[in-house]
Amino acid sequence: MLIALPTMASAQAADASSESSGVGEIVVQAQRRSQNLQDVGVAVTALDSNALKRFNITDSKDIARAVPGVLLDSTAGGGINANLSVRGVSQSDFSSVQESPNSIYIDEVYLSSPNAAAFTFYDLQQVEVLRGPQGTLFGRASSGGLANFIMAKPTKEFTAYAEIGYSSFNDVYVEAAVSGPLSDRVRFRLSGRGERADGWFENGLAGGKDTFEKRFFGIRGQLEADLTETLTARLTVSYDKNPRHFEGIYRTEPAYLDANGDPALLPANVDAYGTGAGKDFAGYRNPYKKYNKADFNNVGFLQNERFSPTLNLKLDLGQATITSITNYTHFSYSYNEDCDGGPVDFCQFPLGQDLKQFSQELRVNGKSGGLTSTGGVYYLHTKQNSPVGFSFPALSGSDFAFDDFNLVNQKVESYAVFGQAEYELTSTLKATAGLRYTHERKVVDSKVFFNELGNGYSGGTGSVVFNPPLLIYDFSPATVGNLARNSENLWSGKIQLDYKPARNTLFYVSASRGVKAGGFNTNVSGNLSNADTPFKSEFVYAFEVGAKLELFDRKLRWNTSAFYYDYHRFQGFGFNGLQGVVGNYDGNFKGGEIELTAAPTRDIDLTFSAAYLDSKLKDVPTAYYGVRDEQSIMAPHWTVNGSVTKRFELGFGTLSLNWNGNYVDDRYASIDNTAGTLVPGSFIHNARIGLDLKDQGLELAAFINNISNKARMNFTYDLIASTGSYLQSFDKPRWIGGSIKKNF
């Protein structure tokens, strides 16, 4: 059983100040209109700018520190391929062409690339994380949940701020924003951030460079105009860039198959590969105890940029509002990683993406008597070129040479019509029904070439057998016909009852159907067959009950829910050797979250949240144990979050102290639940002290993240068959810093 709570960190977001009592009201956009969080029968957590500041969250991936039942980890531990996992619903395929079952939005604009999901944000107003299928209201039918990042908007009065910060590893940033009127009808907002940091993963080689550097700058301009008394237009242009910097490394641990045929860490006295006792295929064993240190060659790098203009039009007709959101996004990145993690240039994994995305949404919100309705149409078109490959430079020219690349071109076109209606049956009872129909077409052209391949690599003997490049796999409409096309008619829906017997009490029960279209696997190893390349659409029947309560004169907010998911053809990701594969599996998920927010006095805020999850996928083929039932990927049984904030009024300003902690239980990085794919649980805690000098418009702060310098693993790969090792990615080590902010 599970419990889900829609407010935990958001209540802090409301930040009960010393001049107010109680937990305060939280306004969310979870139903595509402004509502009090406690009136929304959805499990949603909201974090406003104050809550983000207390948790010292400046990166999309860090929101998981404050949201129960949610992970947003990068498979490589850096700024690439952040996979949002909600209630154990995740894909975690590192391929660029896959979309997540949990959508990420920036100001209601969908991000189709998971490699764009790991981003630094600035001038942010609020983050909302919704659990459960969200197929009836948001642009992309999200079968698992979604996160919406809402940026600050132009203001009618002049306001501005400038902030500078410095922290560990020479991390220095500057952020600023200015907003105000240009005339009675026109307003603007201009904001930006620049940041630079040294690498935190240390290179022990003489002359080697530390990796996981930070190089970022972004700028966003907004112009808002009242074109008529009822029509408002807002043009937003965003440009973010991470210039080329060192990334792409793992901690490598030599591993082997023990006497029982089970994957295990390689003992220091066992020579499993003829390269020396305790060493992997490349003859390396990490000599350092620190989890963020190794000897490695500097071939890993990352660079990306995103350009995204959006036109938002809103027409207010009194009882109805018409909204149009038009967006074009161009996102590109280049990446390479050292996939052996050692000093020998044994393995490299280069990949990239050039994505062009266009979306158009037209939505009508209306209210008449006891009926509140939302309906509209949505169009999405994406076109991308996404190369990926594997290379073993150290084996070049030998019988075991291997060097391939997969050129993938994919087009997606999706049309949807959606609607949701809420009707007040009585003064305390409300019924909700929603439906979405989607027609989606997807076409892929995927070709695999070998630059070099030795007979020995595939089990034979002899030397390189061809002149490069050699086309060995051609999966395109011209060669495989309709197998390279996917055309589907999909539907999702929702019915719900809300019972509100008192102003501060809500009970709800809902049944939903979520859906995600099918797609195509990337043949990164060259070993995937035509039949295994496509995977089918998934759908889920989700059942949920919940309660939202404010107690003790609104000094305590208690939001909780329980859910059960019946999954059909769940798109589960498994990794074996050099090949990741998304397959379809039936299964079920059950559990819940609870979020408590308390303001027992005017100067103390407390939050606590916990999520429990039990997931099972049926008949999963595994690398070592045949076919069996397994846990879903990145689906910990428990996640727990909590924080304490204490404020002191000093006369000249307000001093605030905050402590927060986050526990994530054991989980697996592949649906093949083996020792090599186990990500161990960990507890991280952080602290912050802030001084707000309101009369001077100054905010001073100091923080320490990961106080105990815990080695928190994010992801791991079992590469026994290809490199004789486990590859492990980690979160940042202890991080100490401070900032000064001037408000104007």
Beta strand 145-151 with 102-106: parallel, antiparallel or unpaired?
Answer: parallel
Q: What percent of the chain has pLDDT over 90?
A: 76
Which two three-digit tokens encode residue 667? 């989980």
**Domain-by-domain residue ranges, the chain?**
8-743
The predicted structure's pLDDT at residue 18: 37
The predicted structure's pLDDT at residue 72: 84
The predicted structure's pLDDT at residue 64: 86
Q: How far apart are CA 151 and CA 224, in angstroms?
A: 14
Kindly report, residue by residue over 655-698, the tens digit of the pLDDT: 999 999 999 999 999 888 988 899 999 999 999 999 999 889 99
For 342-347, what is the mean pLDDT?
92
For 613-634, what is the mean pLDDT?
93
Contact yes or no for 175/49 (Cβ under 8 A): no
DSSP string, 526-589: S---TTTSEE--EEEEEEEEEEEEEETTTTEEEEEEEEEEEEEEEEEEEEETTEEEEEEEEEEE
Which has more pLDDT, 200 or 457? Answer: 200
The predicted structure's pLDDT at residue 94: 76
DSSP 20: -
The partner residues of 516 in beta bridges, in order of sequence, read 538
Whether the predicted pLDDT of 81 surpasses 80: no
Kindly report, residue by residue over 148-168, the tens digit of the pLDDT: 999 999 999 999 999 999 999
Kindly report, residue by residue over 351-383, the tens digit of the pLDDT: 999 999 999 999 999 999 999 999 999 999 999
The predicted structure's pLDDT at residue 92: 67
For 313-328, what is the mean pLDDT?
96
Whether the predicted pLDDT of 612 surpasses 80: yes
The predicted structure's pLDDT at residue 277: 96
For 205-225, what is the mean pLDDT?
95
Kindly report, residue by residue over 697-708, the tens digit of the pLDDT: 999 999 999 999
The rounded mean pLDDT for the chain is 91
Backbone angles phi, psi at 400, to 5 degrees: -110, 25
Whether the predicted pLDDT of 122 surpasses 90: yes
Burial of 323 (0-12, 13-18, 19+ CB in 10 A): buried
For 504-532, what is the mean pLDDT?
92
Q: How far apart are CA 79 and CA 65, in angstroms?
A: 17
pLDDT confidence bin for 467, thresholds 50/70/90 = confident
Q: How far apart are CA 566 and CA 545, in angstroms?
A: 15
Q: 484 by DSSP, 3-state: which?
A: helix
The predicted structure's pLDDT at residue 493: 95
The predicted structure's pLDDT at residue 13: 40
Which has more pLDDT, 140 or 486? Answer: 486
Q: What percent of the chain has pLDDT over 70?
A: 96
Look at the alpha carbons of 362, 368, 371, 372 in this order and tell me if their dihedral is positive or negative.
positive
For 420-447, what is the mean pLDDT?
96
Whether the predicted pLDDT of 231 surpasses 50: yes
The predicted structure's pLDDT at residue 623: 86
Considering the segment(s) 8-743 as one domain, its CATH architecture is Beta Barrel (2.40)
pLDDT confidence bin for 459, thresholds 50/70/90 = low
Q: How far apart are CA 450 and CA 402, in angstroms?
A: 8
Q: How far apart are CA 147 and CA 60, in angstroms?
A: 10
Which residue, among 432, 434, 334, has the nearest Cα to 387 in the 3D structure?
334
Whether the predicted pLDDT of 73 surpasses 90: no
The predicted structure's pLDDT at residue 58: 85
Which residue, among 480, 460, 598, 482, has the nearest Cα to 529 in the 3D structure?
480
Kindly report, residue by residue over 36-62, the tens digit of the pLDDT: 999 999 999 999 888 888 888 888 888
Contact yes or no for 376/401 (Cβ under 8 A): no
The predicted structure's pLDDT at residue 398: 86
Which residue, among 410, 401, 422, 404, has the nearest Cα to 354 in the 3D structure?
410
Mean pLDDT is lowest, of 15-24, 259-268, 323-332, 532-541, for 15-24
Whether the predicted pLDDT of 402 surpasses 80: yes
The predicted structure's pLDDT at residue 463: 65
- Amino acid, single-letter form, for residue 75: T
What is this structure's pTM? 0.91
For 252-268, what is the mean pLDDT?
94
The partner residues of 499 in beta bridges, in order of sequence, read 429, 507
Contact yes or no for 30/51 (Cβ under 8 A): no
pLDDT confidence bin for 461, thresholds 50/70/90 = low
pLDDT confidence bin for 388, thresholds 50/70/90 = very high
Contact yes or no for 245/219 (Cβ under 8 A): no
- Amino acid, single-letter form, for residue 455: N
In the block, tokens 């922290």 appear at: 167
For 533-551, what is the mean pLDDT?
95
